[in-house]
Amino acid sequence: MIAVKNNTFHISTRRTSYLFGVDEQGNLLHWYYGARIHEDGLAFRDFARTTTWSVYAPDDEEHAAPLQCTPYEYFASGYGTFYPGSCSIRNEAGHNTSRLLYRSAELVKMAEVSTALPRALNPDEVFKVTLEDPINGLQVVLYYEVFSECDIIVRSAVLKNNGTQTLRLDRAMSLTLHLGEDSFDLIRLCGRWAHERSVIRTPVGQGTLSIGSLNGESSHEVNPFFALARPHTTNMLGEVYGFNLIYSGNWKAEVYCDSYGALHIQEGIHPESFLWTLRPGEMLETPQAVCTYAENGLNTMSGNFHRFIRRHISRGYWKDRKRPLLINSWETTYFDFDEASLVRLAKSAKELGVEMLVLDDGWFSTRNSDHSGLGDWTVNTNKLPGGLGCLSERIHQEGMQFGLWFEPEMVNPDSDLYRAHPEWIIAAQEYPAPLCRNQFVLDFSNPAVVDYIFESMCRILDSARIEYVKWDMNRPLTCLGSTYLDADRQGELAHRYVLGVYELLQRLTKRYPKLLIEGCSGGGGRFDLGMLCYCPQIWCSDNTDPFERLVIQNGTSYAYPVAAMGCHVSASPNHYTKRASSLEMRAAVAMPGSFGYELDLGVLSDEEKQQIRAQIGQYHKTYECIHNGTYYRLSEPGQRDFAAWQFVAEDGCSSLITVVFLKPRRNLPAGRLRLCGLEEQAAYRCGEENVLYGDALMNFGLDLGDPAQIGEVRTYYFEKQNTNKNRKED
C-alpha cells in the first residue's frame, strides 16, 4: 500500500514499511526502511546533525540540513554531499554540480518506460516521483514498484535531459538508500570460474565497501546480490536487508559508512565503464534494483527473493511448468560424437526415465575444439551428415525431446563470420584485441550484428524440432571499442552491449514462446535477475563435484530459488576436481535444482542404472515440494560435520530434509537438526513408524542417529497427518 500525507510517502508491504518525503527546501529525503510501522509514520524524523564542518544550501537559512550527511532519496553529485551521488552529470561548461528538487508524486498504473531492459512483472502498485534540476534541465523520475506478498520493493530511475545543453552522465545508479547508525555485516557471494558464489561476510566500518563487475557480465567473481545483516543475524534469526539488480552487465554496489556510523547504500550500472551522452530530449533508463527486509533471519530474506523470482521474474510458457529432466552431452562426450553415438545415448537415457537430450558444444561449422567455428551457425555435416532435422527426428523417435547449445555473442577468429566482418568485434581499434578461450565478443551494440545472429539462430531453430536452447557466453568484455558507435558514444558500449543481448533474447522468446532457454556463462558467470527474465534456469557452475556444489548452491540459494539452478549428476571421479563421490551423493546434491545427468550412461553398471531409475522416481515424487515449496538452509558450509537443507511444500502437507555427511560421523557431538516452517501442533509421519510433532522437530530437532561415512546421504520425507492425529491446543 502507498499512503501520501503531508509530503511524506509511506510504502508498505505485508511486513515492511518504507518512508520518504520532502523537506522544507524541496529535497526528497529517505526516512525509514524496516519492519512495518504505523500508517502515520514517524513521530520524529530529523536527520540533521549539528557539526562545525557543515555545508548548507543557501536557502536553508536555519541550517536545518547539513548537506554532507543528508539522506537524499536520489541526488546528483557535487552539491555538498561527501559521498558519490546517485547520478553525476557534467554540463557543457564542464561542471559537475547539479541539484535535484522535488516536483511531484503520483500513483500510476505502470512505469512509463521502454522494453529495452527486463523488468519485474505485475507489481501491486507503482509510485512515481519526479525530481528536477531547474538550472540544467535534468529531470529524474523515480519509480517504486511494490510486491507486497513478497515483501519486495523495486526501484528504478529515468533520467531525462529537458534542458538545452548536452549533458554527460558518468554515473546513474538505480538505488540510493540510507540506514541508521547500527552495526551491520555486508554479506556477498564471491568466487571465480568453477567456484562461484561462496558466502563472504564482513563487518561494515567507516569508509566504503564496494563490490561489482567490470567483466561485461554480472560475473563469476561476485554476484549483484548483497545483504546487510545485523551482526547476530543467522539463517533463522535477526534483521537483514537484501538487494539485487535486474541486470546482466557491469554493475556496482557501494556501502558507505559515514563518520557518524550511518550507512548510505547504492547499486546500479558500474560507473567505471559508463559515460552516457544525454542530448536535449534524450533519456536513460536504469535497471531495476530489488530491495527486501526481513526481521527474522536470512532464510526469510531468501524466501522473499525466491517467491519474487518465481512469481514476478520468471515468465512465459515455462514459468510454472515442470522442466524436462535432461541428459547433457558436454561432460558425456565433449566434442567427440556423431549421430549414431547421440542416438545411442538418447536410447539409454530414455530407458532410465530421462526426458530430453541436450547436444552441447561441437555440432556446428568446423567446431572440433574451442579454436574455431563460433559465429558460423551451420551444421557440422561431418559429424551429423543428415543435419539437425534428421538427428532431432531420431531422438524424438526414441521418445526424447531435443535441446541445442549456442554461444550467440561470440566469434572465433577462425570463422567465416570473422573473416567477412572483422569490424564486428568489440575492440579498441588501436590495440591488438586480446583473445580469451580463442574467441572475441561480437559488438551487440550494433543492430546489424544482432539481426545477423537472430537470423542465423532462427534458421537452425526452424530446421529441426528443438525444444530447448542452452545459451552460453564464455569470455569477458575487454578493450572496449565499437566501430558502430560515434566517438562520443563509446562510453555507452558496455551498457548498449547488454541491451543488444536482451533484444536478441526478447526476439527469440517472442518468436519461439515455448522454447526453454537455459542461461550459462562458463558455468555461472551470468547468474542474475536480468537473465532470469528470459531463461527460467541458469547453469550454476562448470564444477559438478558434489562436495563443491554444496558450497556453490548454498551461496546461490541466498538470492535465487532452486528452480533457477541448473544442477547435473556427472561422472566420478569428477572431471574437474578428480575427486570420487557416490552416485547417491551426486543425485542428492543435484536434485534441489533443475535436475539432469551429464555422464556417459553407456559405461554404467546395471546396479548404477537401477540406482538412477530410483533417483528419477524420487525426483518425480518430491518435485512439487522442491520446486514450489519453501527452502530453508539448515546449516552453512563448514559450520557442522554435515550439510543440510529442508523444503516445506506450498500446502504445508509435506517436508523434505536432506542431510549429506561431510566428515565421518564418529566421536562427534549429538547430531540434532532443528527444522523450520512446520506447524507446531501438527503431527508428521516419516516412514512407517515415526510420528513426530512440529514443535518438537523445530525446537528439540531431528536426531540424526547412527554413525555415518563421508558422503553418506540421509533424506527424511515428512507427511503431515490428518487433523485428528494432530495435537489439541490446551
60 near ligand GLA (CB under 6 A): no
Q: 246: closest CA among 308, 186, 160?
A: 308
Shortest distance, position 541 Cβ to ligand GLA, whole Å: 8
The verdict on whether 542 is a catalytic residue reads: yes
- Whichever of 522 and 711 has its CB closer to ligand GLA, that residue is 522
Residues 6+ positions from 605 with CB-CB distance below 8 Å: none
Shortest distance, position 143 Cβ to ligand GLA, whole Å: 35
What is the C-alpha separation between 254 and 170, in angstroms, rounded?
Answer: 16
597 near ligand GLA (CB under 6 A): no
545: Cα within 13 Å, side-chain hemisphere = 15
- Whichever of 539 and 558 has its CB closer to ligand GLA, that residue is 539
Upstream peptide bond of 573 is cis (omega within 30 degrees of 0): yes
Among 542, 545, 641, 712, binds ligand GLA (CB under 6 A): 542
What is the C-alpha separation between 19 and 531, in angstroms, rounded?
Answer: 31
Residues 6+ positions from 641 with CB-CB distance below 8 Å: 661, 662, 663, 665, 668, 671
What is the C-alpha separation between 76 and 99, in angstroms, rounded?
Answer: 6
Residue in 360, 376, 542, 641 annotated catalytic: 542
Q: Are 239 and 145 in contact (CB under 8 A)?
A: no
Shortest distance, position 218 Cβ to ligand GLA, whole Å: 15
Residue in 472, 528, 545, 641 annotated catalytic: 472
What is the C-alpha separation between 234 and 253, in angstroms, rounded?
Answer: 23
- Whichever of 328 and 482 has its CB closer to ligand GLA, that residue is 328
- Whichever of 133 and 542 has its CB closer to ligand GLA, that residue is 542
196 near ligand GLA (CB under 6 A): no
Shortest distance, position 683 Cβ to ligand GLA, whole Å: 45
Collapse the DSSP code of 479 into the 3-class scheme (helix H, G, I; strand E, B; otherwise coil) and give the result.
coil
Among 137, 324, 500, 522, binds ligand GLA (CB under 6 A): 522
666's enclosing H/E stretch is none
- Whichever of 318 and 405 has its CB closer to ligand GLA, that residue is 405
544 near ligand GLA (CB under 6 A): no
Q: Give the range of 184-192, 371-379, 516-524, 632-640 binding ligand GLA by CB under 6 A.
A: 516-524
251's enclosing H/E stretch is strand 251-257
Among 364, 512, 539, 684, binds ligand GLA (CB under 6 A): 539
- Whichever of 330 and 632 has its CB closer to ligand GLA, that residue is 330
Among 330, 402, 693, 716, binds ligand GLA (CB under 6 A): 330
Q: Please report the DSSP string for 151-216 in residue order.
A: TEEEEEEEEEE-SSS-EEEEEEEEEEEEE-S---EEEEEEEETTEEEEEEEEE--SEEEEEEE-SS
Residues 6+ positions from 602 with CB-CB distance below 8 Å: 344, 345, 348
Give the CA diameter of the chain.
Answer: 85
Shortest distance, position 318 Cβ to ligand GLA, whole Å: 20
520 near ligand GLA (CB under 6 A): yes
Q: 272: closest CA among 508, 126, 88?
A: 88
Shortest distance, position 570 Cβ to ligand GLA, whole Å: 10
Burial of 210 (0-12, 13-18, 19+ CB in 10 A): middle
Q: Where are the alpha helices (DSSP H) in 478-591?
A: 493-511, 529-532, 546-556, 583-590
Written as nine digits, the cell of 348 is 539409454
Q: Which residues, 448 to 487, sit near ligand GLA by CB under 6 A?
A: 472, 474
Q: Which residue is nearest to ligand GLA (CB)?
A: 361
567 near ligand GLA (CB under 6 A): no
- Whichever of 471 and 684 has its CB closer to ligand GLA, that residue is 471
Among 72, 405, 645, 716, binds ligand GLA (CB under 6 A): 405
268 near ligand GLA (CB under 6 A): no
Shortest distance, position 217 Cβ to ligand GLA, whole Å: 13
Written as nine digits, the cell of 68 is 554532507
594 near ligand GLA (CB under 6 A): no
Shortest distance, position 587 Cβ to ligand GLA, whole Å: 19
Q: Which residues, 332 to 371, sit near ligand GLA by CB under 6 A?
A: 360-361, 370
- Whichever of 16 and 474 has its CB closer to ligand GLA, that residue is 474
What is the C-alpha separation between 235 and 640, in angstroms, rounded?
Answer: 14
| Count, residues near ligand GLA per rule CB under 6 A | 12
What is the C-alpha separation between 200 and 636, in angstroms, rounded?
Answer: 12
Shortest distance, position 361 Cβ to ligand GLA, whole Å: 3
Q: Give the range of 8-16, 173-181, 390-398, 515-523 binding ligand GLA by CB under 6 A.
A: 515-523
The verdict on whether 360 is a catalytic residue reads: no
- Catalytic residues, which ones? 472, 542
Binding interface with ligand GLA (CB under 6 A): 330, 360-361, 370, 405, 472, 474, 520, 522-523, 539, 542
